[in-house]
Amino acid sequence: MPRISPKRSTAISIKPLLFFVVLPILLGILVTIAPSISSRIYTFIPTLLCSSTRVTTLICSRLSLRTMATNSAPYARERRIAELAVQRAAILTRAVYTSKVKGTVTKEDKSPVTLADFGAQSLVFAALHASFPNDNIIGEEDSSDLRSNPELTSLVFTAIQDALSSNEQGAAESAELGTISNEQEMLEYIDKGDCKDSATGRVWALDPIDGTKGFLRGGQYAIALGLLVDGEVKVGVLGCPNLSAGEGEGEGVILSAVRGQGAIVKPMSADLDSISEPQQISMNQISSTSEASFCEGVEAGHSAQDLQAKIAQALGITAPSVRMDSQAKYAAISMGQGEIYLRLPTKLTYEEKIWDHAAGSIIVEEAGGELVDMYGDAIDFSTGRTFKRNKGFIAMPKSIAEDVKKVVREFAVETYGRWKSSL
C-alpha cells in the first residue's frame, strides 16, 4: 500500500477551507476593484511570460552556442574519448601479443581469456569513468579470475603501467582518459561492467578483445566499444590492430561511427586528434548478390558454416568465404573488403552477446549497410547483456539487402523453424 506523507494529509484537510472560504473572499475583492486593476493585470501577465521566455531562450542559445563551439556535432566527445580509449587499449594488447606471457586462463564457458582482455577492459573503463562518470557499462569480463590469482593480477597491472607509460599523452588527455594507480583500483574498474539493463539511459558495451582465439593465433581481433542510448546504438568504435584499410596501407585501423553521421577510418598509430578530415568509408553497393564475397567466423562452433555455404551458393556467390575472427568482419565489409557477413547459429540455445555486435552494427549501418536477424527482423539491443529477440545475424549493403534477406529467411525457416522469443 502506498503511504501518504504527513505533508500530503495536511494539504488535503485545508483544501476545502481554501476552496469555500478564502477563494470566494478573494474573488469578491477582485470583482470590486477589477475595473481599475484588471487591465494592468492582463497586460502584466503576458509581459511577464514573454520576458521570462525571452530570458530562457537567450540562456539556452548561449549554452547551445558554447556546446557547439566545444562539441560541433552530437556525440563528438563520446566518439573522441571512445577512439582514444580504444587506441590506448590496443597499445596494451599489441604489447601482450609480442610478449611471451599471455596469462591465458579458461573461463567457466570454456572460452579463453588473457591478461590482455583484463588490461584492455580496465583501461577503457578508466577512460569512460574519467569522462562520463554517470554512464552505465556492460563489459564482457569481470575480475573473479584475477582475485583468485595474485600472480595474474600483478601481470595485468604491469601491462597496464607499461601501456600508460608508452602512450605519449599530454596532461590534459590523461586527465580525460584517467589513470590506474594500483591493483585494487584496476580490479574495481574491471568490475564496472556489470550493468544488466541496456534499455534505458546511456550504456556503454565493451568487448575488450573480441575474438580472443584470433588474438592468440595472430589473426584478427577487435577492441569493440559501443554507446547505447535508450536501447539504440548511437556511437561505435572498433579498434582492429591486425586489419588494414587497403593495399599499401599499414596494419591497424580504428573505425568509428555516430548515428546519422557516417562511418570513418583512421590509422591506429595516428595522433587521432590531429586528423581533421578522416577518411569516410562505405560498403560496396553491388547490383547483384552473385558479385558478392562473404565473411564468416573461423570457429565452426560459433556459426553454422555448412548452412552458410548453402546460402552463399543459393545467392550465386562463387568466391570462397573469407574466414575471419571477431568484429573485424563488420569492419572489413564496411570498408568494402567483402560484402556480406553471415552468422547463423549452431544451436538456438546460444544467446549472442551485446558486446559482440554493438560497435560493428552501427559501423556497418553508417557505411550504407543493413543488419538484421536471420528472419529479416531488426536487431533489438534493449534486452540486456544478451540478445533475447534475435537469432542469426546477417549484414550486407542496402543494394542487395532484399535479395539476401529473402534467401536467408527461407533457409532459416527450413532449418530452425520459426523461432519465437520468450519475451
Ligand X SMILES: Nc1ncnc2c1ncn2[C@@H]1O[C@H](COP(=O)(O)OS(=O)(=O)O)[C@@H](OP(=O)(O)O)[C@H]1O
* Closest to 264 measured CA to CA, from 274, 253, 249, 273: 253
Evaluate whether 156 touches 102 at the Cβ level (below 8 Å): no
* 67 classed as catalytic: no
Site string for ligand X, 203-232 (x = CB under 6 A): ----x-xxxxxx------------------
d(CA 399, CA 22): 72
CB of 206 to Mg ion, least distance (A): 9
d(CA 332, CA 315): 20
CB closer to ligand X, 174 vs 346? 346
Q: Pick the catalytic residue: 93, 114, 153, 212?
A: 212
Sign (positive or negative) of CA dihedral 67, 72, 75, 81 = negative
CB closer to ligand X, 94 vs 353? 353
Check whether 356 is labelled as a binding-site residue.
Answer: yes
Q: Pick the catalytic residue: 114, 117, 145, 289?
A: 117
CB of 297 to ligand X, least distance (A): 2
Site string for ligand X, 357-396 (x = CB under 6 A): ----------------------------------------
Distances (CA, A) of 226 to 4, 104, 203, 219, 229: 43, 26, 8, 22, 10
Q: Which of residues 272-311 bind ligand X (CB under 6 A)?
A: 297-299, 301-302
Strand locations in 268-334 (E): 279-281, 294-296, 322-323
Residues 311, 313, 314: CA angle, nearest 5 degrees:
65
| Residue 339 binds: one of ligand X, Mg ion, none (C-beta under 5 to 8 A by kind) | none
Q: Does 325 bind ligand X (CB under 6 A)?
A: yes
Q: Does 114 bind ligand X (CB under 6 A)?
A: no
* 114 classed as catalytic: no
Evaluate whether 155 touches 115 at the Cβ level (below 8 Å): yes
d(CA 340, CA 296): 9
- DSSP assignment letter at 4: P
d(CA 299, CA 297): 6
CB of 294 to ligand X, least distance (A): 13
Q: Does 136 bind ligand X (CB under 6 A)?
A: no
CB of 8 to ligand X, least distance (A): 51
CB of 140 to Mg ion, least distance (A): 5
| Residue 325 binds: one of Mg ion, ligand X, none (C-beta under 5 to 8 A by kind) | ligand X
Check whether 209 is labelled as a binding-site residue.
Answer: yes
Q: Does 102 bind ligand X (CB under 6 A)?
A: no
Q: Does 326 bind ligand X (CB under 6 A)?
A: yes
Q: One-letter amino acid identity for 54?
A: R
Check whether 140 is labelled as a binding-site residue.
Answer: yes
Q: Does 80 bind ligand X (CB under 6 A)?
A: no
The 3-state DSSP composition of the chain as helix, strand, coil percent (nearest 5) reads 50, 20, 35
CB closer to Mg ion, 305 vs 327? 327
Q: Name the grid cell of 13.
A: 484537510
Q: 3-class DSSP state for residue 70?
A: helix
Binding span for ligand X by CB under 6 A among 28-36, 282-290, 349-357, 373-381: 349-357
| Residue 377 binds: one of ligand X, Mg ion, none (C-beta under 5 to 8 A by kind) | none
Distances (CA, A) of 260 to 73, 347, 367: 11, 35, 10
Q: E strand or H helix at 146, and its extent?
A: helix 144-147
CB closer to ligand X, 157 vs 330? 330
- Residue 341 φ then ψ, to 5°: -120, 120
- Which spans of this chain sit near Mg ion (rule: CB under 5 A)? 140, 207, 209
Q: One-letter amino acid identity for 83?
A: E
What do you get for the CA distance between the two ends of the chain, in Å? 29
Which residues line the annotated binding site for Mg(2+)? 140, 207, 209-210, 356
Active site residues: 117, 212
Interface with ligand X by CB under 6 A: which residues? 111, 140, 207, 209-214, 297-299, 301-302, 325-326, 346, 350, 353, 356
